[in-house]
């Protein structure tokens, strides 16, 4: 049972803490504190107020500059909540234009498909965008999918399931847990809107299309996979799913040599 830690509430900051307790923000920024200080008629800047609340244990430091984690009274001390996405929340709070989104294994976990969280969360950032310093310990995939490939989960942008399949087809090297994919792929494919998946593959390479068709088939919808082949750019195979230096199984319909999903299969039954 955690020991309750007493944290003082100076009378001049009581209104500030009351506001924070009512709002229960996960992340507090300098801008937030500037607004609260103004509303409370405090002769302090947001930075000064942040320093004071941090000293008192109500705000916890983050790697994101100009942001803190709020530790409410119910937490019984200056303890972090253990939110795996706190730095992404802080990045988005301080830079609303930030284009990063949870992707690959992180998206698979949040959609309830994959069972185990990745060792490092995965962030997809459109090509040409800079990775913030606070997120450089994350695994970053530089990829651009057309349109808006995201949905909002727990207040954060997350690849839709169609974007997850498209991303895996376009950048199979960037997905780090292929061994478990066969366990959840049928559920993912069952929830996939084929039209949305096709839209996310618009302009993709022939290899990307063929891998997406193959994933659909492995998930139980070979009919959609074969239909999608008509949309793929022309060219010659084979297409690889997995490292080329590993033995794999060739699916003649999709011209895919699979060394990750088909590993250990007794027979190819799609």
Distance between CA 159 and CA 197 in Å, rounded?
A: 12
Give the pLDDT band of residue 26 (cuts 50, 70, 90): very high
Tell me what pLDDT residue 75 has: 87
pLDDT exceeds cutoff 50 at 264:
no
Q: Please tell me the predicted confidence (pLDDT) of residue 270.
A: 41
Percentage of the residues of the chain whose pLDDT score is greater than 90? 83
Q: What is the pLDDT of residue 196?
A: 97
Domain parsing of the chain, residue ranges: 11-81, 99-258
Q: What is the pLDDT of residues 143-185, one digit of tens each?
A: 999 989 999 999 999 999 999 999 999 999 999 999 899 999 9
Mean pLDDT value of segment 76-89? 92
Neighbours of 211 (CB within 10 A): 26
Q: pLDDT value at position 124?
A: 96
**Global confidence as pTM:** 0.89
Band (pLDDT 50/70/90 cuts) for residue 3 is: low
CA gap 41, 32 in Å, rounded: 14
Q: Which of 28-42, 90-104, 237-251 has the lowest mean pLDDT?
A: 237-251
Do residues 31 and 108 touch, judged by C-beta distance below 8 A?
no
**What is the percent of the chain with per-residue pLDDT over 70, rounded to a whole number?**
95
pLDDT confidence bin for 38, thresholds 50/70/90 = very high
Q: Which CATH class is domain 11-81?
A: alpha beta
Q: What are the start-end ranges of the H helices in the chain?
A: 14-23, 30-39, 46-56, 86-94, 104-110, 161-170, 181-190, 194-200, 206-218, 222-228
Two tokens, residue 86: 């706190």
What was the pLDDT predicted at 5? 66
Structure tokens at 125: 């950032």
Is the pLDDT at 208 greater than 60, yes or no?
Answer: yes
**So what's the pLDDT on residue 76?**
81
Per-residue pLDDT tens for 220-259? 999 999 999 999 999 887 999 998 888 889 999 999 999 9
Task: Please provide the average confidence, as pLDDT, over all residues in the chain.
Answer: 92
């Amino acid at each position: 049972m955690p020991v309750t830690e007493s944290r003082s509430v100076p009378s001049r900051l009581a209104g500030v803490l009351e506001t924070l307790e009512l709002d229960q923000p996960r992340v507090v920024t300098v801008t937030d504190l500037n607004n609260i200080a103004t509303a409370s008629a405090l002769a302090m800047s947001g930075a000064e107020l942040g320093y004071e609340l941090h000293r008192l244990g109500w705000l916890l430091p983050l790697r994101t500059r100009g942001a803190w984690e709020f530790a409410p009274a119910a937490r019984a001390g200056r303890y972090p909540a253990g939110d795996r996405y706190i730095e992404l929340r802080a990045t988005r709070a301080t830079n609303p234009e930030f284009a990063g989104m949870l992707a690959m294994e992180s998206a698979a976990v949040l959609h309830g498909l994959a069972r185990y969280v990745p060792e490092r969360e995965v962030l997809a950032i459109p090509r040409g965008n800079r990775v913030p310093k606070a997120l450089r310990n994350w695994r970053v995939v530089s990829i651009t999918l057309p349109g808006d490939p995201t949905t909002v989960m727990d207040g954060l942008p997350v690849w839709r399931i169609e974007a997850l399949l498209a991303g895996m087809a376009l950048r199979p090297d960037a997905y780090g847990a292929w061994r478990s994919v066969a366990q959840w792929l049928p559920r993912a494919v069952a929830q996939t809107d084929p039209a949305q998946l096709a839209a996310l593959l618009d302009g993709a390479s022939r290899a990307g299309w063929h891998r997406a068709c193959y994933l659909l088939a492995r998930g139980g919808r070979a009919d959609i996979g074969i239909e999608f082949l008509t949309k793929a750019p022309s060219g010659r195979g084979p297409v690889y799913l997995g490292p080329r230096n590993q033995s794999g199984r060739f699916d003649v319909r999709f011209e895919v040599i699979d060394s990750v999903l088909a590993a250990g299969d007794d027979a190819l039954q799609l």
